[in-house]
Chains A and B, each alone.
Chain A
Amino acid sequence: MTSVLAFAEQRSGALRQAALETATAGRALADALGVELTAVLLGPPSISGAAETLGRYGVDRVLLGSSDAFDEYLPEAYADGVVAAVHECRAKALVFPASALGKDLAPRVAAALEAGLASDVTEIGVEDGRVVAVRPAYGGKVFLKVGFKSDPAVLSVRSRAYMAVEAPRDSRVEELAVTVDPARLRTRVRMAAGEKKERPDVAEAEIVVSGGRGVQGAEHWSLLEDLADALGPATALGASRAVVDAGWRPHDEQVGQTGKVVSPPLYFAIGISGAIQHLAGMRTAKCIVAVNKDADAPIFKVADYGIVGDLFEVVPRLAEEIRKLRSEE
């Protein structure tokens, strides 16, 4: 039987949220194609426990490549591992997360398979038996609907485009036979990034609290941090370019055309005017809340809910009310 193959991303032996979202997207595609969903999980021998979790998210079969060669992300070794899994499960389509790792690995795998790759897709479908997808281009100014001419089809899925949904299966876990040619292990990871930050990455968070020039300086960010703390651990901080250019916040928090594109369920724009280049990065958020003292700020044209007022009064009150709500639960 043929299959859809989902790449299950782990870091330091733990599955990442991206792995569950990829499984959910893969499940939908497998159902539309009427095939099985296989997941490939590559990592150090300690990851075998993670394989069972995948079954809860709709995976029929897990191919487990546990080897010290997969301890860290080495592009060539990982590409070889995924290609082995593609042959083993006769994949018609491959689904990667559009994470830092996924964006690096998917192109290598597509090149090895001579297959087309659609990056950062927000929707996947099947029309007349063919895989189609929707993806943003030109900095989010347009969306392209694309159809695959290659077999298999390779996709990377934008974070939060498919929210992880439990769909338990009797999944089977099998060892993936893969030998990595030592000559292909040319990269050494000198310093790996742990998930060491207290907050998730802005592109992967469930809630984003973004601040703009209206916050008036790095020293006032404690206000937004407090709101983020009140909202809970799945909340990330974001920033407009004006803020990053001023050096108030690091570039990896920038949202927009030249920063990250985010689609969280909830996005707070605090003291952000709503320039077109900022909107390009957050207009696909499910719910947008704006706080701005200028009732004519363009951000209110896209916000679902707005408060016109001074953020220095509104934001602390917001943190307080959310804490109240959380303590009632």
Chain B
Amino acid sequence: MKIIVCIKRVPDSEGRISAGSDGASVDTQGVKFVVNPYDENAIEEALKLKEAAGEGSVTVMTLGGDESKETLRTALAMGADQSVLLKGQPSTDGLGTAEKLAAAIRDREFDLVLFGKQAIDDDNLQVPAMVAQLLDLPSATVVVDLRVEGRKVTAEREVEGGHEVVEFELPAVVAAQKGLNEPRYASLKGIMAAKKKPLEEIEVGDAESRLEVLAVMNPPERSAGEIVGEGADAVPELVRKLREEAKVL
């Protein structure tokens, strides 16, 4: 089974991120960059599927600058076989990025394209379904359980009020939600081996953005309200305020 996994370099979610002082940029100064956490689930799933099949290959692909090589190396160290850097800047909205990825995927042999459900920088949740549409493939997003038997894919997706189970045939697109699996860590041996694995570079140019960022703002400040009182005795007063002041009851 030939699997392509699309991954993105993003700032660590534990990092301090705020609106830049110019009000038009995002300040990520001093923040460590990592493989997008949901993409780690996608890599893990690809490795597991390949191991279960006993044959095949896992190719990781990213659209980004030179700094994204580090992201690809991390995936290679986890166990991916080869990697592709599409050199160019991702778009603000998902479509430009999806177009670049779809164009590169179209030229390759593949059975399954895996994604994370969401990049934790732009929080777009767009690229996987867009790539599926552009390549005219069936897809399942926000997937928490995946089974591949022969050419048949069974995917369980998270929806409001429960899970939905869908089936389709390969080739297909699947986007991973947290909980799909527990991503492995790169072993020291894996890190050494990664240095010798292929890293293909292709100049693709910057992706077209159909959205323009006009301003970057910090979240609306909430000011501290009032402590209504202490203990259960304060409850009647709280309920009165919720009803009469806040008008939410």
User: B230 to A303, Cβ gap below 8 A?
Assistant: no
Contacts of A305 in B (CB 8 A): 225-226, 228, 238, 241-242, 246
Mark A102-135 against chain B: 1 for CB-CB distance below 8 A, else 0.
0111111011101111111000000000001011
Does more than half of chain A's interface fall in helix, strand or loop, or is it mixed?
mixed
Complex CA–CA separation, A203 to B167 (angstroms): 27
Give the contact stretch, choosing among A164-172, A215-223, A309-317: A309-317
In the complex, A1 has a CB within 8 A of chain B: no
- Contacts of B248 on A, CB cut-off 8 Å? 207, 265-266, 286-287
Chain A count of residues within 8 A CB distance of the other chain:
92
Do A287 and B246 touch across chains, with their CB atoms under 8 A apart? yes
Q: How many residues of B contact A (CB 8 A)?
A: 80
* Known A111-B95, A305-B228: A193·B163 in contact at CB below 8 Å: yes
Tell me if A188 and B212 are in contact (CB < 8 A): no
Contact A101 B120, beta carbon cutoff 8 Å: no
A31 in the interface, Cβ–Cβ < 8 Å? no
Q: Report whether B214 and A132 are in contact in the complex, using a CB–CB cutoff of 8 Å.
A: yes
Decide if B165 touches A283 in the complex (CB within 8 Å).
no
B219 with A137: CB separation less than 8 A: no
Give which listed residue, A108, A287, A306, A322, contacts B226 with CB less than 8 A.
A306
C-alpha gap A303/B227 in the complex (Å):
9
Residues of B within 8 Å of A304, CB to CB, are 225-226, 246
The CA-CA distance from A138 to B218 in the complex, in Å, is 11
Q: Mark A189-206, 1 if CB is under 8 A from B, else 0.
A: 111111111001101100
Q: Chain B interface (Cβ within 8 Å of chain A)?
A: 11, 13, 17-19, 26, 37, 92-95, 98, 120-130, 132-134, 138-142, 154, 157-169, 178-179, 209-220, 222, 224-232, 234-236, 238-239, 241-243, 246, 248-249
14 residue pairs of the A-B complex, CB under 8 angstroms, read A103-B142, A107-B130, A107-B133, A111-B130, A117-B93, A117-B211, A146-B92, A149-B210, A192-B164, A200-B160, A289-B238, A303-B224, A305-B225, A307-B235
Task: List residues of chain A with CB under 8 Å of any chain B CB.
Answer: 73, 75-76, 79, 99-101, 103-108, 110-112, 114-120, 132, 134-150, 186-197, 200-201, 203-204, 207, 251-252, 257-258, 265-266, 277, 280, 283-284, 286-289, 295, 300-310, 313-314, 316-318, 321-322, 325
Given contacts A73-B164, A308-B230, A317-B235, list 16 more A-B pairs with CB under 8 A: A75-B129, A110-B93, A141-B18, A142-B216, A142-B217, A146-B92, A149-B211, A188-B167, A193-B161, A197-B161, A300-B227, A301-B224, A303-B225, A307-B234, A309-B232, A321-B235
